[in-house]
Amino acid sequence: MSASDAGPTGATTLVGVVGWPVDHSLSPAMHNAAFRAMELDWIYVALPVSPGRLPAALDGLAALGFAGANVTMPHKTESAALVGELSDDARRLQALNTVVVTPDGLAGHNTDAPGFERFLRDDASFDPAGRRVLLYGAGGAARACALALARAGAAEIVVAVRSPARAFPLVQALDDLPVKVRTATSLADAADVSADLIVNATPVGAHGEELPEPAMGPDTVVVDLLYHVASTPLRVHAREAGARSFGGLGLLLHQAALSHELWTGRQPPLEAMSAAAVAALGGEATLR
């Protein structure tokens, strides 16, 4: 019996998610479902940490017996500055989403980029090599997606942002990679871009707002990273145009699975994690 069935004991291994707020997080449901399926005496808990208290929270993980933690908004960037040992991706993106407690201290990782790589390969069956990508947004999620696409051989990434200056950290993160990065001068300019893959890494669409969209067709793949809503205007337009459309749950699952692997050394059952996430969302979300 896993700890998530019966509650933690003195022998239970603890992990959790550090953020503010974290009451909306799907991570406890997904990870505890994996621990139950694997019959591991582990439990995953929400760890609400208000701004200003992050250093103390991270210092306390080892003392409290945690094996590690996920880190979510608004702490991803600050955590990267506080954790001494960073993976290549965490250092390049200057943000982390996973902490592993080691005998030598805390190690920071970012599983968003490899999670997006797995999602494109396993769920979307999309090979970015030689393709043009339209990416809405330049924040942390967008940078991770851009890194994954650049490593996979994308020919060009067009970044659509409200202000071109906001794209500078993204361009800098890809500086030594063989990909052309072009910044649209405004979101409206995105409507003139011809792209094989369209990715929305902004909150636009969560409440029915519409993005300026380019022409789409059956050969276009559309990914909207929003997953708390059953559909968005971008995904509706994609389906109407015959394009293949995906929500953000697939990326969420794959980055979570990579965190699980870092902590336990074992691959978790994605089916159990997916079912738990969909149930937590009220059954409204799907991978597609």
Other C-beta atoms lying within 10 Å of the C-beta of residue 88: 10
Backbone φ/ψ region at 194: left (φ over 0), alpha (ψ -120 to 50), beta: beta
Judging by DSSP bridges, how do beta strands 98-102 and 105-109 pair with one another? antiparallel
Q: What is the pLDDT of residue 288?
A: 39
- Point out which residues pair with 18 in neighbouring strands: 47, 71
Residue pair 97/70 in contact by the 8 Å Cβ criterion: yes
Amino acid symbol at 19 = G
Catalytic residue numbers, as ranges: 76
Q: What is the pLDDT of residue 10?
A: 77
Interior/surface letters 38-52, b for 16+ CB within 10 angstroms, e for the rest = bebbbbbbebebeee
Query: If we measure between CA atoms, which residue out of 52, 54, 140, 138 comes closest to residue 97?
Result: 140
Q: What is the pLDDT of residue 6?
A: 62
Domains, the chain, with CATH or none: 3-110+251-280 (3.40.50.10860), 113-247 (3.40.50.720)
Furthest C-alpha separation in the chain: 59
Amino acid symbol at 57 = A
Query: If we measure between CA atoms, which residue out of 73, 67, 70, 62 comes closest to residue 46?
Result: 70
Instruction: Write out the chain's pLDDT in tens, 288 residues.
Output: 566 566 777 799 999 999 999 999 999 999 999 999 999 999 999 999 999 999 999 999 999 999 999 999 999 999 999 998 999 999 999 999 999 999 999 999 999 999 999 999 999 999 999 999 999 999 999 999 999 999 999 999 999 999 889 999 999 999 999 999 999 988 889 999 999 999 999 999 999 999 999 999 999 999 999 998 878 999 999 999 999 999 999 999 999 999 999 999 999 999 999 999 999 998 554 443
Distance between CA atoms of residues 264 and 280, nearest Å: 24
Distance between CA atoms of residues 112 and 137, nearest Å: 15
Listing DSSP states for 83-114 in one string gives -SEE-HHHHHHT--SEEEEETTEEEEE--HHH
Q: What is the dihedral of CA 126, 130, 134, 136, to 10 degrees?
A: 70
Interior/surface letters 161-187, b for 16+ CB within 10 angstroms, e for the rest = beeeeebebbbebbeeeebebebbeeb
Q: Is the pTM of this model over 0.75?
A: yes
Helices 270-280, 249-264: crossing angle, 10 deg rounding:
130
Cα of 173 vs its chain's centroid, Å: 17
For residue 57, give both structure tokens: 């929270």
* DSSP 8-state class, residue 123: I
Distance between CA atoms of residues 167 and 38, nearest Å: 42
